[in-house]
Structure 1
Amino acid sequence: MNDIAQAVALLRRGELVALPTETVYGLGADAMNPEACAKIFAAKGRPSDHPLIVHLPDADLLPRWARAIPKEAIALARAFWPGPLTLILKKHEDVPDLVTGGQDTVGLRVPNHPVALKLLRAFDGGIAAPSANRFGRISPTTAAHVREELGDRVSLILDGGPCQVGLESTILDLSRDVPVILRPGAIGADDIARVIGRRPRLRGEDEAAAQHVAAPRVSGALAAHYAPRTPLELLPTAILGQRVRSGDAVLARMPRPLDLPSDVTWVVAADDAAGYGHALYAHLRQLDASGRARILVEAPPASADWAAVVDRLGRAAVGSGEDDET
């Protein structure tokens, strides 16, 4: 039996399968099987009210999972699927409450990875697949990361190589009158505006007050997330060098200064947002495993193209230093 056939068989039996996507590796289960989805929450240590994103083989399956689908959703699916965009829509009545965190909305996307698409087409259904790591920790971008995080909690890991994008998908809420980006990603507000003819708001721009309803809960939106166990601090470029001391680990876009102590681990990241994001989680894992006392990160630029990186690092800093292993 080949890996895809084995994965489909396991999913149909209600087991967990880790799959690669262009963003991060996902921990997959049959999204229409509440008992299977419950295993995701148990394996990750994930709160039961934290909704899952459902991955589909193509946009034709949207009516199975959503109702009252707006024209903007169809236009965005045509423009960006397969790709790193998750749409929040009103859920179909058949979607299990466990998948949606008890909400009346569901997150849907079509991943842009050949292995994931092959699996989804063979399965011919939706696969709920949050990142394949312990809840709140650094997302995995290789199969090895999944093994380190989850071990035998997952029945099969499909190895599709390193993830191309490396950061989670943009989450766009289309369940209300005004489109709102609830989580930034590789597809930005300008990209979306070019397709639907209006610019989406960003979370925090008074969207809830404007519509008299709170935004749906979505994956990766908690203040503490994507976090290493080593304490992490973000520092402006101007003072980074002054704050580094013996025993630190550093992630910076600038070269390593010549006068640093030898026991400082210094990783030079890419100077462009896409390259930086692609390697971010691998770099954080490397620094977290270095045994250093703390991780110092040179704060990235505040421009729109760095929004996803800024978001992930901010949440990583809040959640860092906590130990959730049981």
Structure 2
Amino acid sequence: MFPEQAEIDHAVALLQAGELVAFPTETVYGLAADAANPLAVARIFAAKGRPANHPLIVHLAGAGCLERWARDIPSPAWELAEAFWPGPLTLILRRAAAVPTAVTGGQDSIGVRVPAHPVALALLRAYAEAGGGVDGMCGLAAPSANRFGRISPTEARHVREELGDSVPLILDGGRCLVGIESTILDLTRGDSQPPRLLRPGRVTPEQIAAVIGVLPETPSLAGNDGSPRVSGSLAAHYAPRTALHLVAPQRLAEVIDQLHRAGRRCAILCHSEPPAAIAATDTLRKLAADPRGYARALYAALRALDQLAAELIVVEDVPATPAWAAVADRLRRAAVGAGRHAGPAD
């Protein structure tokens, strides 16, 4: 699925006029605005209900644009860009002087990446060829195209359902192939210290170490270690309105049986063979037993289960292995945030 050129051109015109456009990336759908235009960036925060001190990731057409947005770029950044861009890796760097603080949440750092979706690249390249935005800067600030803290969209219809008329144009590029947000790596510490992994994703620490020769550190979840604020790092995020409980695989049948005895109707998300305890009144979604297949379908499955009249979403926990780390991160944050967004305004 690919939009007509006229639709890409319309998107570019809207962005240059300071409006919002939703577009697909390989990870999730993003809500884009001219990253150099503080008024346009403010529209993103308003549409999402996102606090203004939460930084946005800037999407670029290629690594050749990097020096417009970042300064003092260390050599590992260029090595990682060569290895993983276009792709699901966001680099945190020192922001260039021309970058408005509106897009960085007031910080001196900035997150940048080059997405791997053909529609995203077509839009970014057309935007750059048309002269870009304010002062000729050619970057699009684009957090996930959903209400703040909610489940990220992986299909165009998810954006329409959640944001509706607040987005003038949604470019439909089909279902996102990765399905969870990009890995975020902090490279602002200088040569004397290793980089920090601020959000796990498809690109793993081991893959990063294979390129730069250093395994990234994982900072404290408390967030008080001096790490920059980044997207998706709050304890509660990616959350459904329905309460969500993570259950160890060996306890899944027991917990479902207890819920039935208490007369509670539940929706169930699992990756192994469903237990016999599931009743006709339950709704079951079974995802792939491999981390990439699971991640690709996770958010769509959570959205579908969240639309039911269930009292609780029971999720079979995933293996505690490095391959599952990114999925485990999203599920933990979803469980903390679930049920917090039940009001009609969302």
Q: For this structure pair, what is the TM-score category when the shorter chain's length is used for normalisation?
A: over 0.9
Q: 1:154 aligns with which of 154, 167, 170?
A: 167
Q: Give yes or no for the alignment of 1:236 onto 2:248.
A: yes
Query: Residue 135 of structure 2 aligns with which residue?
Result: none
Q: How far apart are the structure 1 equivalents of 2:71 and 2:51?
A: 26
SS at match of 1:250: strand
Please report how far the alpha carbon of residue 122 of structure 1 lies from its aligned counterpart in structure 2 after TM superposition. Answer: 0.6
Matches within 5 A, 1:32-51: 32-51=36-55
Assess if the C-alpha contact under 8 Å between 2:18 and 2:33 holds in 1: yes
> What amino acid is the match of 2:195?
P
User: Which residue does the alignment assign to 2:72?
Assistant: 68
1:164 partner amino acid = L
Q: How far off is 1:98 after superposition?
A: 0.7
Partner-residue secondary structure (3-state), 2:274: coil
Cα 1:251–1:11, aligned 2, differ >3 Å: closer, same or farther?
same
Q: Is the Cα contact below 8 Å between 1:252 and 1:269 reproduced in 2?
A: yes
Q: Which residue of 2 aligns with 1:250?
A: 268
* Cα distance change, pair 127–196 in 1 and its aligned pair in 2 (3 A): same
Deviations 1:246-266 (A, max 9, x none): 410000112333443211011
Q: 1:185 aligns with which of 186, 201, 207?
A: 201
Query: How far does residue 203 in structure 1 lie from its aligned partner after superposition?
Result: 2.2
Match of 1:268 in 2: 286
Question: By how many angstroms is 1:208 displaced?
Answer: 7.0
Distance 1:297 1:99, change over 3 A: same
Secondary structure of 1:121's aligned partner: helix
The letter for the 1-side match of 2:246 is L
Distance 1:195 1:27 in 2: 31
Distance 2:39 2:223 in 1: 35
Tell me how far 1:205 sits from its aligned partner: 8.8
Three-state SS of the structure 1 residue aligned to 2:32 is strand
Q: Tell me, what secondary structure is at the counterpart of 2:96?
A: coil
Pair 1:89-2:102 in alignment: no
- The TM-score with structure 2 as length reference comes to 0.91
Secondary structure, counterpart of 1:99 in structure 2: coil
Looking at structure 2, the residues matched to 237 and 69 of structure 1 have their Cα atoms a distance apart, in angstroms, of: 45
| Residues 297 and 221 of structure 1, relative CA distance in 2, 3 Å threshold | same
Matched, 1:202 2:218: yes
One-letter amino acid of the structure 1 residue matched with residue 101 of structure 2: D
Offset from partner CA, 1:39-96 (integer Å, 9 cap, x none): 0000000000000000000000000000000000000000000000000000001111
Task: Supply the AA of the counterpart residue of 1:272.
Answer: D
Q: CA RMSD in A?
A: 1.4
Distance, in Å, in 2 between the alignment partners of 1:302 and 1:108 is 29
- Could you give the per-residue CA deviations for residues 80-134 of structure 1, whole angstroms, max 9, x where no partner exists? 0000000000000111111000000000000000000000001011000000000
Q: Is the 8 A contact 1:229 1:322 kept in 2?
A: yes
C-alpha distance in 2 between matches for 1:207 and 1:174: 17
Q: Deviations over 1:271-301 (max 9, x none)?
A: 0000000000001001101211100000000
Deviation track 1:200-232 (CA, whole Å, cap 9, x = no partner) reads: 1112299976xxxx0000000000000000000
Measured in 1, the distance between the counterparts of 2:222 and 2:26 equals 31
**Separation in structure 2 between the aligned mates of residue 4 and residue 129 of structure 1, nearest angstrom:** 16
Give the 5 Å matches for 1:114-153: 114-124=118-128, 125-153=138-166
Moved more, 257-266 or 177-186: 257-266
Q: Is the 8 A contact 1:201 1:207 kept in 2?
A: no
Q: Secondary structure at the match of 2:162?
A: helix
Residue of 221, 230, 237 corresponding to 1:218: 230
Correspondence for 1:59: 63
Gaps of 5+ in 1: none
Question: Aligned residue pairs: how many?
Answer: 322
AA at the equivalent of 1:24:
V
Q: What one-letter code is carried by the residue in structure 2 that aligns with 1:176?
A: R
Q: Secondary structure at the match of 1:57?
A: coil
CA displacement at 1:325 relative to structure 2: 4.2
1:248, 1:256 → 2: CA distance? 14
Partner SS state of residue 102, structure 2: helix
Checking the alignment, whether the CA contact within 8 Å between 1:248 and 1:293 is kept in structure 2 is: yes
Aligned position for 1:288: 306
Task: Give the match for residue 31 of structure 2.
Answer: 27
- Does structure 1 retain, via aligned residues, the 8 Å contact 2:253–2:277? no
Shift of residue 18, structure 1, vs aligned partner: 0.1
Runs of 4+ in 1 over 3 A off after TM superposition: 205-209
Which residue among 69, 76, 82 is the counterpart of 1:78? 82
* Cα distance in 1, alignment partners of residues 17 and 280 from structure 2: 52
Amino acid in structure 1 at the alignment position of 2:218: L
Name the counterpart of 2:132: none
